[in-house]
Chains A and B, each alone.
Chain A
Amino acid sequence: MRLLQKMTDFLEDRLELPTLWRGFTDRNLPRGIGWLQTLGSATLFLLLVQTATGILLAFYYVPSPEHAFHSVSLIETQLPLGWLIRGIHKWAASLVVLLVVLHLLRVLYMGAFKYPRELTWVVGVLLLLVVLAFGFTGYLLPWDQRGYWATVVGTHIASFAPALGPYVMETLRGQPDVGVRTLGRFYAFHTLFLPALLFLLVAVHVAMVVKQGIAPWPAKKFASVRREEYWKLYQHFKEGGRPFYVSMAKDAVVALGLLLLVFFLAWKLGAPIGEEADPTSATFVPRPEWYFLFLFELLWWFPGQWIPVATFWIPAFLILLLLFLPWLDRSIHRSPLRRPLTTGLTSAFVLAAIFLTYKGASAPTPPAAATAVRARLEQQALSPLAQKGRGVYEEQGCAACHSIAGAGSAAGPDLTKIARRRDADWLARFITAPEKVTPGAEMPAYDGLTKEELNSLVAYLQTLR
């Protein structure tokens, strides 16, 4: 104990560190700060976990198309504890995105972005973008099929930016297609540039929170506050509060809980590696990581010339909306109940994002499908004609757009119960000339089928009820 005291005195004498630390932990927080306010510190905690595991992964990872996949396989299967470190890195990455979004929503609903915290909010939005950039660049690094094709699609989407689109795409890729230079720059972004930017922004973000104090609950006197009265009221409120270390206990509990959760996910589900990236495969089905699914789904709504709406204008609009929120919602009201427009719009956006993510996640398994469809329907007894029709269904690639019992694609109508809605005659007419039966129908005409093929296909569809 004497030694500890001496060391404390040494630091106090030279740098006043103990005083600074006590000033940090002993300062009063306003009343009503609870579990919801742990989201920010929880995000920071996971970012530190990502930093630690990421640095260790970089010890063994080789960022070259010839070696990347094998070095990741080595980490996963050969190196002691490699599976654990990789598992933690993967699952904490997903949780960071989730927590950043929850943190943002908490601040948004509670009006905590209002005076004097407008800049803290802006830096927070930039941090959200940095976290998403981490996810996007990190996905490619294992150089497996999933990451490779997600990057082909993700960078292709950038080519729809107005005027400079193709240049943006090639700048991101470092070359016309996704290859060695893409991996190089994604690696450098993921491990050097983004971490530097991240911790710069985190330092500013946290410094501002410490300097200005945490935002009070937007209730009672703080439901609506005039700018001139704010500091007096906040000071008064703080004096009735509790010291920071009391709430830090909550932060610590949440951090520990998250760590256990991440350990559990890494242990139970792990981070499976797929097949090595293969730019020549024509059968792979690209899908993004879950937090980009809403964008991927959004593409269904904007075909042809409207593509840039989904790939550029909506994302750009949302980002600008978030960045400038403090100057758009300028009322003195902080309570979500007194700001129906902000609260309503936010909730609408959240519901839309959840809906799109759900649609994307529950989309039917696409047509490697021929086999999947067969497997699912094998049990059913079909007449010889209908069986032949099922063959036609598979051969003609119907499953590329339609789904039956969850196998296929969501491009066209689900046919699982089609016989309940359409009779044989209608089906036959529609298949051969969709445009004539339903003007504006998207389905390409299948007028090249033989009469026998058509009859059997219709017979098969008639069994689906």
Chain B
Amino acid sequence: MSERSDPGAAEPSRRGLFRNLVNGIGAAIVTALAVPLAGFFVLPAFKRSKTVWKEVGRLDDFVAGEIKLVPLRPLERREWPEDWGTEAAWVYRKGERDFVVYDLHCTHVGCPVNWSPQAKRFFSPCHGGVFDADGRVLSGPPPRPLDRYETKIEKGVLYAGAVYRGDRRLGRAVS
């Protein structure tokens, strides 16, 4: 009886037990929810489907020594959205079967580079990045040469695959 009239005596361990229980269950609930939620936020960004090859054009469409902007047509249709998201790339025909396909974005902060056929240079409109026909940095702040698409030629048609970083060995051109 004395225990009941004096709640402080026997209770502390029970109170402590319940407090820990509530905290423990709470932590379990938060973790059980937070892990899948965070995963759902982050993981789709990194889910890699197999490389979808994109048709660049027939070889005859390109003149040797010239560089032109071409929209890339994926060989497999996406589930969604079908009608949006064409990419374009700069295609440089260096020789008979020697092609370089450049990513459109400057390696500095991603502005679209524009090829000037007269100057024979790529110009970025943002911070003065200039690249030569081989994608090397001629001037300005870009940290590396233009990124490129992997390419293959089948039955007279040029295809572009995944984007990779331009060869670091090309480096910065020295005049």
A residues with CB within 8 A of B = 64-66, 149, 152-153, 155-157, 167, 170-171, 173-177, 179-181, 185, 279-286, 296, 299-300, 302-305, 307, 311, 366-367, 395-397, 400-401, 409-412, 433-435, 442-446, 448
Contact = CB atoms under 8 A, between A and B. Distances in A.
Given A66-B83, A285-B126, A448-B120, 15 more contacts: A152-B105, A170-B45, A174-B45, A176-B163, A279-B88, A279-B104, A282-B88, A282-B90, A282-B112, A283-B112, A283-B125, A285-B111, A299-B141, A307-B143, A433-B175
B45 A303 contact: no
A156 B140 contact: no
B8 interface: no
Interface of B: 41-42, 44-46, 69, 71, 80-81, 83-88, 90, 104-105, 108-116, 118-121, 123-128, 130, 132, 138-143, 163, 172-173, 175
Query: Per DSSP, are chain B's interface residues mostly helix, strand or loop, or mixed?
Result: loop
24 contacts: A65-B81, A65-B85, A149-B111, A152-B110, A153-B126, A170-B46, A181-B44, A279-B85, A283-B114, A283-B125, A284-B125, A285-B125, A286-B110, A286-B111, A286-B112, A296-B126, A303-B127, A304-B172, A311-B109, A367-B125, A395-B118, A396-B118, A400-B130, A444-B139
Nearest to B72: A280
A433 B139 CA distance: 14
Nearest to B112: A282
A300 to B, nearest CB: 6
Nearest to A179: B85
Q: Which 5 A-B pairs have the closest CB atoms?
A: A411-B128, A303-B141, A280-B88, A156-B110, A395-B118
Contacts of B114: 282-283
A446 B175 CA distance: 10
B128 A173 contact: no
Contacts of A157: 109
B103 to A, nearest CB: 10
Contact of B175 (A280, A305, A444): A444
Nearest to B143: A304
Contacts of B45: 170-171, 173-175, 181
B85 to A, nearest CB: 5
A173 B83 CA distance: 19
Contacts of B128: 400-401, 409-412
Contacts of B139: 401, 411, 442-444
Given A66-B83, A152-B105, A170-B46, A397 B112 contact: no
A303 B140 contact: yes
Nearest to B175: A445
A296 B108 CA distance: 11
A284 B121 contact: no
Nearest to A184: B44
A174 B125 contact: no
Nearest to B43: A171
A276 B138 CA distance: 32
Contacts of B83: 66
Nearest to B130: A444
A161 to B, nearest CB: 13
Contacts of B86: 279-280
B84 A180 contact: yes
A173 B44 CA distance: 10
Nearest to A152: B110
A180 B163 CA distance: 19
A175 B42 CA distance: 10
Given A180-B84, A442-B140, A397 B111 contact: no
A152 B86 CA distance: 15
Contacts of A173: 45
A222 B131 CA distance: 60
A66 to B, nearest CB: 5
